[in-house]
Amino acid sequence: MKQIFLLLCVLALPLAAWSQTESPIVTKEKLKVVFQLTSNDTLVQKSLVKQLNNFLTAAPNAKIEVVCHNNGISFLQTALTKQTDGIKALHDKGVDFVACANTLRERKIKVEELLSACRIVPAGVVEIAMKQHKGWAYLKAGF
- Of the pLDDT bands very low, low, confident and very high (cuts 50, 70, 90), residue 1 is low
DSSP assignment of the chain: -HHHHHHHHHHHHHHHHHHHTSSPP---S--EEEEEE----HHHHHHHHHHHHHHHHH-TT-EEEEEE-GGGGGGGBTTT-S-HHHHHHHHHTT-EEEEEHHHHHHTT--GGGB-TTEEEES-HHHHHHHHHHTT-EEEE---
Length of the chain: 143
Find the domain containing 101 and state its range. 28-140
- The tally of domains found in the chain comes to 1
The answer to whether residue 42 is domain-embedded is yes
pTM for the whole thing? 0.82
Give per-residue pLDDT as tens, 73-127: 999 999 999 999 999 999 999 999 999 999 999 999 999 999 999 999 999 999 9
Tell me if 14 is assigned to some domain: no
Residue 53 lies in a domain: yes
